[in-house]
Amino acid sequence: MPAMMPPSAAARVAAVGEEEYEPLLAENPDRFCMFPITYPSIWEFYKKAVASFWTAEEVDLSPDVPHWQHRLSHDERHFISHVLAFFAASDGIVLENLAARFMRDVQLPEARAFYGFQIAIENIHSEMYSLLLDTYIKDPDEKTRLFRAIDTVPSVARKADWALRWIESSGSFAERIVAFACVEGIFFSGSFCSIFWLKKRGLMPGLTFSNELISRDEGLHCDFACLLYSLLRNKLSEDRVRAIVADAVDIEREFVCDALPVALVGMNGDLMSQYIEFVADRLLESLGHGKMFGVVNPFDWMELISLQGKTNFFEKRVGDYQKASVMSSLNGNGDIHHVERRGDSESRSRRQRPSRAAFAAHSAALPPLPTVTQPKPLNIIVSSKSTQTR
């Protein structure tokens, strides 16, 4: 006998047919209460997002100003300013998609928890990019042009229009989640790479540190989109996924060529185009499909810099830092210690806690804490021009 479904789900199956029914998108009468968790893999992504929380006040931009004025060439400043102009607008577009579509499409509490936290961190990204432009660009007219890049910079406008069309699309959730995996995976990839290129050269430490944090967040968001896609019953055809990805690659190539009008040392349009194709292939594989371009990563230093931060935590908080206590509720397999899965009544009477011996062994393995001096008071100065931490 088939398992009983809630009346709303059964009605939906009857309405759309068994083949088209999508459990992940079904109406959920339990959506207002977080526990118990149905999909531990989705919950783990939410906990990873919480563990990686940061704020714009943690990034010191004061060392960047002399670098921007005296160590970057005119062409390099043009390149980076266009990258920041796209970023300043892009997070607002992602926010609109989450609020207007995805939060309504998916009624799983754990998925909504992730999307809710993504909305919060996208706001921090938007604040950070606005602070970067406000700090580096002193000409008022140029600053206004870059803040309004989706109207004033054609290559940025095309990227924004592509994403906005998908927000308003009547296409399936599967199509739209693949499209926004492209936004956060492909549209951001070239821009992240350009800022890591500055890090490789020892330039703009504030910008490059914020890039570590933001690229880590966006990587998590893209991976979450791939996870939800993998959980869909009704996936897209190979040809349809490739068409969406190829369209995004073409638009990103155009943006790179516009932002990079001349070849720079170690960075040019051809290399960036190849890198975008490499990232697109990696996204296709994450979505369960084969490669389209079959190219190698032209920037071997990207593998070292962007995938795993290696800075000592006590020297500087790194982009892969996590709040350890947040992840302590998950074990190594992604299962949940303090939350039972739906239907697992036996687990309701148990709570897994580490033994004293395990706790002692874990504590002994931790590195010694450094000597900490009394910190100076944090003075937040707010003016009409910018917000800085001193």
Write the single-letter amino acid at 338.
H
Residue (of 133, 57, 53) closest to 319 by Cα position: 53
State yes or no: is 129 an active-site residue: yes
Residue (of 220, 198, 219, 218) closest to 209 by Cα position: 198
Residue (of 218, 41, 25, 214) closest to 103 by Cα position: 25
Question: Helix, strand, or coil here: 341?
Answer: strand
* d(C-alpha 3, C-alpha 339), whole Å: 23
Write the single-letter amino acid at 223.
D
* d(C-alpha 362, C-alpha 333), whole Å: 18
Task: State residue 2's pLDDT score.
Answer: 44
Cis peptide before 66 (omega within 30 of 0): no
Cis peptide before 154 (omega within 30 of 0): no
**In the structure encoding, which two tokens stand for residue 88, read together?**
């300043």
Question: Helix, strand, or coil here: 322?
Answer: coil
| Domains in the chain: boundaries | 63-316
* d(C-alpha 94, C-alpha 160), whole Å: 10
Does pTM surpass 0.85?
no
Question: What do you get for the CA distance between the two ends of the chain, in Å?
Answer: 67
pLDDT tens, 151-182? 887 878 888 888 888 888 888 889 999 998 99
* d(C-alpha 271, C-alpha 153), whole Å: 23
Task: State residue 223's pLDDT score.
Answer: 92
pLDDT tens, 245-274? 999 999 998 888 776 655 565 677 788 889
Question: Helix, strand, or coil here: 283?
Answer: helix
Look at the block and give the residue holding tokens 């790179």. 256
Look at the block and give the residue holding tokens 């917000």. 387
Residues in the chain with pLDDT values less than 70 = 1-19, 34, 95, 259-266, 303-390
The single residue of 39, 46, 115, 129 carrying the catalytic annotation is: 129
* d(C-alpha 108, C-alpha 30), whole Å: 8
The helix (H) or strand (E) run that includes residue 223 is helix 205-231
| CATH no., domain 63-316 | 1.10.620.20
Write the single-letter amino acid at 187.
F
Residue (of 176, 170, 153) closest to 90 by Cα position: 153
